[in-house]
A and B are shown apart, each in its own frame.
Chain A
């Protein structure tokens, strides 16, 4: 199972709401997770997500290229969220937390 703070997972979460370009993804990820993605890490992850068909470039004339989730990307994110949720549910139960 991929770690929740793994760059590709964080990028999928960031793009779940709306298309974003690289800098916007960096700021959003840092805002909701506290993880600061460097440009090399960010674009390495974007390239692999694009290669695997989980995100796609949105046509633009701007140098700042926005990306959006594909249907396969949304499905992959749902799968990851379900796996994390199952782990969190067990942890809460064992800790006696509500």
Chain B
């Protein structure tokens, strides 16, 4: 399950990667563990990178980062979270519907079913695109020399505009 650590930001892997890797060698792999790691990775990306002055001041990891501290604006974190969380819900619902199409008609009552029935493959694509755009935008904001991520963000937003245009029938 060490692949899941790649979902975490670089500063996190520098500080906690070795010990998390050691821990995961002792924890039996399961779907719940994977989901927990993915949730942890999202939260880690929303966490400000610690600096010697603001946190984990005495840890070898922070010192080993070896680059100047980078302040992450709170409005930026909130904007990305506002984009990312609905996209995650859309993608998760779209994926579940593809795997278990009967769920929509047999399990979910009333308003939930209405929401569920609106999710289609197109919504899945849209959700994935929004998610990609949010991640690329976030990494462009927080990564020093994040030019590649900025290109990714521009491409993802271009795709997003294209897909939304198709939705709206332009």
A residues with a Cβ closer than 8 A to B are: 21-23, 26, 38-44, 46-47, 50-52, 56-57, 63-65
What is the predominant secondary structure among interface residues of chain B facing chain A? helix
Q: Which of B39-47, B74-82, B83-91, B154-162 touches A?
A: B39-47
Interface residues of B in 37-79 (CB under 8 A from A): 37-41, 43-44, 47, 50, 54-56, 58-60
Q: Which of B12-20, B113-121, B132-140, B143-151 touches A?
A: B12-20
Cα A16 to Cα B44 in complex, Å, equals: 26
Q: Which residues of A contact B16 (CB under 8 A)?
A: 43, 46-47
B residues with a Cβ closer than 8 A to A are: 12, 15-16, 18-24, 26-27, 32-33, 35-41, 43-44, 47, 50, 54-56, 58-60
Q: Which residues of B contact A64 (CB under 8 A)?
A: 19, 22-23
Q: Which residues of A contact B43 (CB under 8 A)?
A: 40, 44
Q: Which residues of B contact A38 (CB under 8 A)?
A: 32-33, 35-37, 40
In chain B, what residue has the closest Cβ to A67? Answer: B19
Whether the pair A63, B22 counts as a contact (CB closer than 8 A) is yes
Partner of B40, one of A21, A44, A65: A44
Cα A57 to Cα B16 in complex, Å, equals: 11
